[in-house]
Structure 1
Amino acid sequence: MSVFALAVFVVAYALIASERVNKTLVALTGAALVVALPIINSQDVFYSHETGIDWDVIFLLLGMMIIVGVLRQTGVFEYVSIWAAKRARGSPLRIMILLVLVTAIASALLDNVTTVLLIAPVTLLVCDRLAINAAPYLIAEALASNLGGTATLVGDPPNIVIASRGGLSFNDFLIHLAPIVVIVVAVFTLMLPRLFPGAFAADPDRVADVMSLEEKEAIRDHGLLIKCGVVLAAVFAAFIANEPLHMRPSMVALVGAGILVVVSRLQQSDYLSSVEWDTLLFFAGLFIMVGALVKTGVVKQLAELAVTATGGSTLSATMVILAASLVISGVVNNVPYAATMTPIVAELTPALVDRGNPDVLWWALALGTDFGGNLTAIGASANVVILGIANRADNSISFWEFTRKGIVVTTMSLALAALYLWVRYFVLG
């Protein structure tokens, strides 16, 4: 069974990477194969936290997509796009830097998927105003969202999984991971001109037109904007305080979406216009295929192979976990990988010979898993969402176009993370 599950995933992955077949069709076909054999059953698919569809991700996406659909009717995205372009004086490079920094910071406070859902429409409008290709800007934002989301417990879904198993708090993540995230985001920002050459040329006439626009005139419905602002503030506050409220982010997003649908009194076609149904179905199929790998033990075997060479050394274990997590999570999606790897780290920690820094393994896992999401176009949820939005807006981003940039950023992140872990936990102690 494990051979068949692995074969289905490898073939599906190859077809997705080739882009010759619709990725949603590939994911659903692969899911149908592993269910029909059957490698996994309906219980595994719909109810298991380890092998099933991650409904929290699906419904978080759905809720935020509906909220974005309502927000779109107010004209606020046009307002922000004009404001950003004018503050950057029409410079495409400055605009990218501004959007990257906003995305990274917002991803740390909220979560990376929500952030890209809110930032992407603004980006598309800015690029449309300046008549420049939006694809490089969307790729940069997806990469920045995965980097920024690493800094906090709520910023990236794998961190929630790791915190639960490792007994780690919000402040633990902030103290141990925020410093390296700041460094990596700063280096990433400096890399932008070389990472996206040729993406910063704009027509001077277009720039002049944008600078002459009055952003306040873009708001079409002030009353609805106020309602959206109140609901969004409540949603964001609930995201941050999800533990005391005992409400998962997905439930918060759905409740917020429901309230906005009621108070906005919009037509169904208006608030559903931003829902990426293809993206949601792709995620469902991907989760099922990866669930088959988890159930048959393929992912666990890969994870165990990654830690067999530690020899009882904390430093060796730290670097192996960091590197292996970065590579594997980038291929199989970082959420299910984190769920599979956490029990292995929990077992490995007390078995180490030199246990001076036991928690360092958790930080290595978090950095490798979160940064590894940038490795490929399906490594993290935010990447898939960005690609779906780009394709619908006729700014298609290919699997390899994203992955080529992702490999460069991931390599840089790995080098800095390894140096950071070594200096902070083994040199300075």
Structure 2
Amino acid sequence: MISMIMAIAIFVIMFGLIIWDKIERHIVTLACGLATAVLVFGVCMRSMDAFLETLNIRNIFTLGFWYEAGTASESTGGINWATVIFLAGMMVMVEGMARAGFFRWLCMTIAKAVKYKVIPIFLTFMVMSFVLAMFIDSITVILFLAAVTLELAQLLKFNPIPMILSEIFCANLGGSATMCGDPPNIIIGTSFGYSFADFVANTGLIAVISLVVIVLYFYLVFRKELSSAGNAVIDESKADPSSAITDKNAFFISTVIFLLAVVLLVTHAQTGLTVAFIGVLIAAITLLTAGKDVVKILKGVDYKTLLFFIGLFMVVGGLEQTGVLEVVADFIGKVSGGKMTVMIAIIIWVSAIASGFVDNIPFAATMIPVIKTLAATTGADLSVLAWTLAMGTDIGGSATPIGASANVVGTSIAAREGYPISWKKYCFSAVPATIIVVLISMVCIYVRYL
């Protein structure tokens, strides 16, 4: 009992400090992870086995961690090293692509294709944000898309805030469509052994249906504001796509590596290659072909995010080892009366609302063992609960400026360039959009699986 109270206390303190946002997130989770190891596993439980199971280092040295031999495998709990390694590999690839000018070139090419007209740029950038976020972390997508949007706003004389808000939402929506698009999905996929194709066939279908509605929604909300900007006559040489390419050879190589990554992810269920293996392979190829830029690419990797994940998984491991998450699962089971319809509604709305106010990554990591226990004790279909959790956390995080990392990045870039986005401005468009997508998701899940 004491160990459960201690684990809960550390978890609450961690969440509070993350929301407070005065201390860097990775320092918070690492400190709380260390506190879990010492106070929960050491002082309260006095269990080296619980500590080692949560640390989960041994799993890395098993064949199944790198090659599944055609059978899906589940994470054994604790630190999800597959997620950490895969994210690290993709970060290396994305850093190489960015240095070659790939993202800026893509944005400028699309802007030129629609003749630099504001409304067509607005619509196509939403779709591009969705598509890119299916394969690249939504944080990276917004990082470059927001920067190019601000550049175009200066050239075309329009307010970039509506476009940035719509891009953020569509990036989070696109991230929900695939396993590698959003960190919560990576955690869910690696925890339960789901493939890229599994996500596309389930959450992907819901996301595409939602995209059609959301593009129309944002168009109706912002069309007057963007139409009033007109279409300025610009010097196209300033926005020429070719000027974005810093190194033609590096650009070609990074494009090939990106396409290889997509092919490997799409086919990993057939090849048996795990996402951890794919992440290491892609990172290795990127570094081997980077030449003199190897050090710059390695320095550009977001190590703080990786450390954040490690500390987070340790804290959640404390809740799992002490039985707290089993209690939560039992409570949901009792409240729902074992009815699948009620369980789905509870999971998707609680996930969506919670993810709007706390980062959806730690919430998803916390809920993984909860739905696993819920499926085991009530007989509910685990895959349906997983897709429900994915849509709830991915979309719910879009509702507020602090709900997902992409939101924080996008609003920060806008504010830095003189376009501050208030909570009122953000939530005015994002909250209704979030409610619309959660409702669409719930209806789709009910119709398809029940």
Give the shorter-chain TM-score range.
Answer: 0.7 to 0.9
Conserved 8 A contact 1:129-1:210:
no
* Within-5 A mapping of 1:29-428: 29-39=31-41, 41-47=51-57, 49-90=75-116, 94-108=120-134, 110=135, 113=137, 116-117=139-140, 120-131=143-154, 140-151=166-177, 174=200, 177-192=203-218, 208-209=234-235, 213-327=239-353, 331=358, 332-349=362-379, 362-376=383-397, 383-384=404-405, 387=408, 394=416, 404=427, 408-423=432-447
Deviation at 1:403, TM superposition (A): 9.0
Higher mean Cα deviation, 5-14 or 40-49?
40-49
Distance in 2 between the 1:150 and 1:312 partners?
27
Distance in 2 between the 1:182 and 1:307 partners?
31
Distance in 2 between the 1:275 and 1:41 partners?
29
Deviation at 1:283, TM superposition (A): 2.1
Partner of 1:356: none
Deviation at 1:239, TM superposition (A): 0.9
Partner of 1:355: none
Q: Alpha-carbon deviations, 1:262-288, whole Å to 9, x = none? A: 222123432124311222222222222
Q: Alpha-carbon deviations, 1:23-74, whole Å to 9, x = none? A: 2322222222212213362441243745422222222222122222222332
Distance in 2 between the 1:23 and 1:282 partners?
6
Question: Aligned to 1:37, what secondary structure does the other structure show?
Answer: helix
Deviation at 1:326, TM superposition (A): 4.1
Aligned residue among 6, 15, 19 for 2:8: 6
Unaligned 5+ segments in structure 1 are: 351-358
Higher mean Cα deviation, 200-209 or 265-274?
200-209
Conserved 8 A contact 1:151-1:173:
yes
Conserved 8 A contact 1:157-1:335:
no
Q: 1:223 to 1:173 in 2, by over 3 A?
A: closer
Distance in 2 between the 1:410 and 1:376 partners?
9
User: What letter matches 1:78 in structure 2?
Assistant: R
Conserved 8 A contact 1:166-1:346:
no
Conserved 8 A contact 1:89-1:211:
no
User: What letter matches 1:73 in structure 2?
Assistant: R
User: What letter matches 1:245 in structure 2?
Assistant: T
Question: Aligned to 1:241, what secondary structure does the other structure show?
Answer: helix
Distance in 2 between the 1:263 and 1:29 partners?
37
Conserved 8 A contact 1:74-1:224:
yes
Question: Aligned to 1:267, what secondary structure does the other structure show?
Answer: helix
Deviation at 1:240, TM superposition (A): 0.8
Conserved 8 A contact 1:100-1:144:
yes
User: What letter matches 1:417 in structure 2?
Assistant: S
Distance in 2 between the 1:22 and 1:401 partners?
25
Conserved 8 A contact 1:322-1:365:
no
Deviation at 1:397, TM superposition (A): 9.5
User: What letter matches 2:144 in structure 1?
Assistant: P
Distance in 2 between the 1:202 and 1:254 partners?
48
Deviation at 1:153, TM superposition (A): 5.9
User: What letter matches 2:153 in structure 1?
Assistant: L
Higher mean Cα deviation, 186-195 or 71-80?
186-195
Conserved 8 A contact 2:268-2:274:
yes
Partner of 2:28: 26
Equivalent residues, number: 413
Distance in 2 between the 1:340 and 1:307 partners?
10
Distance in 1 between the 2:12 and 2:118 partners?
39
Q: 1:4 to 1:322 in 2, by over 3 A?
A: same
Distance in 1 between the 2:206 and 2:376 partners?
23
Distance in 2 between the 1:168 and 1:224 partners?
33
Conserved 8 A contact 1:150-1:371:
no
Q: Alpha-carbon deviations, 1:186-241, whole Å to 9, x = none? A: 23223336878999599889872457632223323212222222222222111111
TM-score by length of 2: 0.74
Question: Aligned to 1:257, what secondary structure does the other structure show?
Answer: helix
Q: 1:397 to 1:19 in 2, by over 3 A?
A: farther
Q: 1:412 to 1:392 in 2, by over 3 A?
A: closer
Percentage identity across paired residues of the two chains = 22
Question: Aligned to 1:208, what secondary structure does the other structure show?
Answer: coil
Q: 1:161 to 1:259 in 2, by over 3 A?
A: closer
User: What letter matches 1:263 in structure 2?
Assistant: T
Distance in 1 between the 2:374 and 2:240 partners?
56
User: What letter matches 2:297 in structure 1?
Assistant: Y
Q: 1:169 to 1:338 in 2, by over 3 A?
A: same
Unaligned 5+ segments in structure 2 are: 42-49, 60-74
